[in-house]
Structure 1
Amino acid sequence: MASRVLHRPTFSLVTALLAALALVLGGAPASADPVIPGVDEAVSSPDLKHLANLPKQGAFASPTAYNSDLAFKGDLAFAGNYNGFTVYDIDKAAAPTIVSQVLCPGSQNDISVTGNLLFLSTDSSRSDDSCQSVAKPVTDPTAWEGIKIFDISDPANPRYVKSVETKCGSHTHTLVPSKSRKTVYLYVSSYLTSAASVGADCTYPHDKISVIKVPVKDPTAAALVAEPVLFSDGGNPGDGLAYPETTYATTGCHDLTVYPDKDLMAGACMGDGALFDISDREYPRLITAVRDDVNFSFWHSATFNNKADKVVFTDELGGGGTATCNETIGSSKGADAIYDIVGKGDRRKLVFRSYFKIPRANADTENCVAHNGNLIPVKGRDIMVQAWYQGGISVWDFTNSRKPKELAYFERGPLSATSLVLGGSWSAYYYNGHIFSNDIQKGFDVLDVTDPLTKHADRYEYRQLNPQTQYDLF
């Protein structure tokens, strides 16, 4: 069934004030109940238009073959899936086409590209490093997890060329260019959430990352070169409470976002949000860290603003698989947290300014929480597009870090009215004039944002985009 696209106002303080005014005047209060779209119904603000959707296909069509992260190069988009990855031709953004699909199971298949190389994260215990591997118990010392490297010089026929095993696998990874540009580094993030996830080469404590060095012209020489410990004090010990109050102990990092031009990295590390110096690419050094044991459960990802004087951290409350965009959870949990970076050098600190959460309630059958996004290149403003799983896609402005506001949104109704089915936008990124989203169940989406504050964004042209590797846009 085709989705119907509707427009509706965002519930906000204005709605509440109208309700209060109605009571004062003696009339019936304006309804403050959110209007939740029905199953297979799409809603949006007038300034975010849905242009195209390509459903999941072939070996990726199964409900358990989750779509994951995105990377871009030229007129191509590379979309991760728990069963492998898809290459899309986005030269005509409103009519994307599939160039190729590579079947290579191994969750979550987080993805990045540089030149003719593509990197893929494997974070599930496999029988070997091939694309024909099968699941294997994590306690088996012969099991494999880590990074796979592909040659994409022919996008229609990607070629697998190398693997590098890493301890505790690779949940995500971040591409970091060397200062010589002759090599690139991969910062491999992996973490432990319970003793049950400990394997033969994955043991407590795990306050480290894996650093892989890749010679660009000889990727077969890629190798693990360092395993720096990021938190010498062990990081946040956690509180051991039950969801949704729990604060996770820091036993690794989920996402690392680098700003190579400024030798900076922001780390979302379970129980800690952190700022690192990466002037020595092989050994990141902690500058400062913050905790929020009241409202943050699991520090998930980080995005700098263009000046690198702010960081947006996300909290993946409930692991992305539960309903947290509702009145029960409220507006501060499962949200973004905006921090200003104040001071200079090793005296820099992260100073909390505010939270941002989408101002629409979701059904209790919708997994919804802050997830992956990037900056929209608007000079003089800090504007971001962001995925919220079944909460949809939000475009919001944090130029005033104390008063963030949403500019535009698009979302679909729940996948089911009776049970929670994991779905929604995993990643939503702005790239060369359009927003591209990898929806866990619905497939590849293309959108056009027309809010007046973003009207000059298409003047900036990317050659490639790995959202966790940020550069000065202006």
Structure 2
Amino acid sequence: MIHVAGLPKPTPLDREAAFNSDLAFTGDHLIGGNYDGFVVYDISDPTRPSVVSTVVCPGGQGDVSVSGDLLYFSVDYPRAGEECGAPAVPTTDPDGFEGVRIFDISDKENPRYVAAVRTDCGSHTNTLVPGEDGEHEYVYVSSYSPLERFPNCKPPHDKIAVIEVPLADPASARVVAEPMLFPDGGADSTTGCHDITVYPEHGIAAAACLGDGLLLDVSDPVAPQVLDRVRDPNFAFWHSATFTNDADTVIFTDELGGGSGAVCTEEIGPERGANAIYSVDRSGDRSELQFRSYYKVPRHQTETENCVAHNGSLIPVPGQDFFVQSWYQGGVSVIDLTDPDRPVEIGHFDRGPWDPQTLRTAGSWSAYYYNGHVYSSDIRRGLDVLRLTDPRLEPAREVVMEEFNPQSQPSFSGPEGHP
């Protein structure tokens, strides 16, 4: 992997605590979430990305999804009101606003705030789910809390929220369902879901729900159904998931230490803070997840580098399974998953520790492939653009996407690109 460009966090989103977070893509633009808002980048020339606009709108990590002219922005730190300038309020305030803010980004230089939808326990992440009628789309809202002191999401918090968005009138978006994914409740229940990845073409989703990995039927977006539920004694925090293109395999990640720990060490070992790879068996009357292997970056990091499995996406090489993934200060790893029993790294990018003397949260939060390059959201430095040099990955350059939300997976079949 070759580093071809980088941009620092723009003012006024450049304070130390305003970590960069997740990414979404539309046309020649990239939307970068941030703990203080979001940034719109022009990536028409990946070697010379530029900032188009910045929006200051604090509310937590700022998870983003994009759909046409609409941007969905997660708020999971309570604010005094729905507007962007609302100050923070204590987490114990039951009236603090948390949920999803909606922006119109048809004018990339001047994004316009459209509406806000309140959800219980806020929105740590959000996932775009298309509607079949072409007139509505849905946003799955994941949130969690293991603490009794949060009044709107006391454990067990076993549901997600489904927001319905009328595309002709997004300002009237509202919560239309709150599916219970763990109806059994009790001591065996979870404390919420961290992230959900849907694969609309196959009508399925993979949900990472803190103590559990779920396979869901989302053929009816308003009423997802649990197909299978798995646990792993080596997993501390089920964080995110990605399907292979044929949907026969799913990669779950374990964010051991919550992202701030130095867990890519010899002491922790190769099976904790790693990926767990499962086959998706849909041959019988019910779909099941079957464990195949673990993958963890094959380099030990120092005690001052937070490093753990985090966000990534497929590299669209038809007929093969390649995956690019961020590992915080472990850098960016490219993995060949074609044999799910023997995943192997084929490339990486790693800067080394942000601070050699002190463990401080830094590194790549998200790394995604989009139209010929890998874009990495570096927590402290800003946006990085990387180029892949392995000849096996060249066919991916023929697959052209017009929009990409990594948690709403498209399928690919060849040079014609995504449908």
Given the two structures, how large is their TM-score scaled by the length of structure 1? 0.86
Of 207, 211, 228, which aligns to 2:179?
228
After superposition, the CA RMSD in angstroms is 1.1
- Residues 167-316 of structure 1 mapped to structure 2, 5 A cutoff: 167-196=120-149, 198-199=150-151, 201-234=152-185, 237=188, 250-293=190-233, 295-316=234-255
Amino acid at match of 1:418: Q
Partner SS for 1:207: coil
Alignment-derived partner of residue 83 in structure 2: 130
Whole-angstrom distance in 2 between the partners of 1:139 and 1:171: 17
Amino acid at match of 1:310: T
Q: What is the CA-CA distance between 1:235 and the residue it aligns to?
A: 8.2
Whole-angstrom distance in 2 between the partners of 1:236 and 1:434: 45
Amino acid at match of 1:215: P
Q: What is the CA-CA distance between 1:209 and the residue it aligns to?
A: 0.1
Partner SS for 1:60: coil
Alignment-derived partner of residue 20 in structure 2: 67
Whole-angstrom distance in 1 between the partners of 2:60 and 2:401: 28
Partner SS for 1:461: coil
Whole-angstrom distance in 2 between the partners of 1:213 and 1:172: 16
Q: What is the CA-CA distance between 1:346 and the residue it aligns to?
A: 4.8
Structure 2: segments with no counterpart, 5+ residues? 414-419
Q: What is the CA-CA distance between 1:60 and the residue it aligns to?
A: 1.5
Amino acid at match of 1:221: S
Q: What is the CA-CA distance between 1:62 and the residue it aligns to?
A: 1.3
Alignment-derived partner of residue 335 in structure 1: 274
Alignment-derived partner of residue 353 in structure 2: 414
What are the superposed Cα offsets for residues 408-445 of structure 1, whole Å, 9 maximum, x if unpaired?
00011111111111110000000000000110001000
Alignment-derived partner of residue 34 in structure 1: none
Alignment-derived partner of residue 417 in structure 2: none
2:100 equivalent to 1:160: no
What are the superposed Cα offsets for residues 11-66 of structure 1, whole Å, 9 maximum, x if unpaired?
xxxxxxxxxxxxxxxxxxxxxxxxxxxxxxxxxxxxx1000110112121111100
What are the superposed Cα offsets for residues 305-341 of structure 1, whole Å, 9 maximum, x if unpaired?
0000100000000000110001110111000000001
Greater Rg over alpha carbons, structure: 1
Partner SS for 2:318: coil
What are the superposed Cα offsets for residues 164-183 of structure 1, whole Å, 9 maximum, x if unpaired?
00000000010000111211
Amino acid at match of 2:345: E
Whole-angstrom distance in 1 between the partners of 2:332 and 2:256: 18
What are the superposed Cα offsets for residues 129-173 of structure 1, whole Å, 9 maximum, x if unpaired?
111111101222221100000000100000001000000000001
Partner SS for 1:193: coil
**Cα–Cα, structure 1 residues 159 and 450, in superposed 2: closer, same or farther, change >3 Å?**
same
Q: What is the CA-CA distance between 1:347 and the residue it aligns to?
A: 1.4
Whole-angstrom distance in 2 between the partners of 1:421 and 1:62: 15
Q: Is the 8 A contact 1:49 1:448 kept in 2?
A: yes
Alignment-derived partner of residue 341 in structure 2: 402
Q: Is the 8 A contact 2:147 2:155 kept in 1?
A: no
Partner SS for 1:303: strand
Structure 1: segments with no counterpart, 5+ residues? 1-47, 238-248
What are the superposed Cα offsets for residues 234-253 of structure 1, whole Å, 9 maximum, x if unpaired?
3883xxxxxxxxxxx62110
Whole-angstrom distance in 2 between the partners of 1:114 and 1:362: 38
Whole-angstrom distance in 2 between the partners of 1:285 and 1:236: 21
Alignment-derived partner of residue 20 in structure 1: none
Q: Is the 8 A contact 2:144 2:153 kept in 1?
A: no
Of 267, 278, 293, which aligns to 1:354?
293
Alignment-derived partner of residue 54 in structure 1: 7
Partner SS for 2:392: helix
Q: Is the 8 A contact 1:252 1:270 kept in 2?
A: yes
Give the total of aligned pairs: 413
Q: Is the 8 A contact 2:74 2:100 kept in 1?
A: yes
Q: Is the 8 A contact 1:235 1:271 kept in 2?
A: no
Alignment-derived partner of residue 66 in structure 2: 113
**Cα–Cα, structure 1 residues 291 and 463, in superposed 2: closer, same or farther, change >3 Å?**
same
Partner SS for 2:153: coil
Whole-angstrom distance in 2 between the partners of 1:346 and 1:462: 35
Whole-angstrom distance in 2 between the partners of 1:71 and 1:235: 37
2:103 equivalent to 1:103: no
Amino acid at match of 1:210: A
Whole-angstrom distance in 1 between the partners of 2:394 and 2:7: 26
**Cα–Cα, structure 1 residues 228 and 346, in superposed 2: closer, same or farther, change >3 Å?**
farther
Partner SS for 2:180: coil
2:319 equivalent to 1:319: no
Alignment-derived partner of residue 416 in structure 2: none
Alignment-derived partner of residue 17 in structure 1: none
Amino acid at match of 1:312: I
Whole-angstrom distance in 2 between the partners of 1:235 and 1:418: 44
Whole-angstrom distance in 1 between the partners of 2:273 and 2:411: 29
Q: Is the 8 A contact 1:207 1:235 kept in 2?
A: no
Moved over 4 A (4+): none
**Cα–Cα, structure 1 residues 296 and 235, in superposed 2: closer, same or farther, change >3 Å?**
farther
Whole-angstrom distance in 1 between the partners of 2:216 and 2:107: 36
Amino acid at match of 1:268: A
Whole-angstrom distance in 1 between the partners of 2:92 and 2:282: 46
Whole-angstrom distance in 2 between the partners of 1:227 and 1:66: 30
Q: Is the 8 A contact 1:235 1:272 kept in 2?
A: no
What are the superposed Cα offsets for residues 275-331 of structure 1, whole Å, 9 maximum, x if unpaired?
0001111110000011002x1101000000000010000000000011000111011
Whole-angstrom distance in 1 between the partners of 2:114 and 2:289: 41
**Cα–Cα, structure 1 residues 76 and 130, in superposed 2: closer, same or farther, change >3 Å?**
same
**Cα–Cα, structure 1 residues 153 and 346, in superposed 2: closer, same or farther, change >3 Å?**
farther
Whole-angstrom distance in 2 between the partners of 1:367 and 1:179: 42
Partner SS for 2:171: helix
Q: Is the 8 A contact 2:158 2:181 kept in 1?
A: yes
Q: Is the 8 A contact 1:121 1:147 kept in 2?
A: yes
Given the two structures, how large is their TM-score scaled by the length of structure 2? 0.97
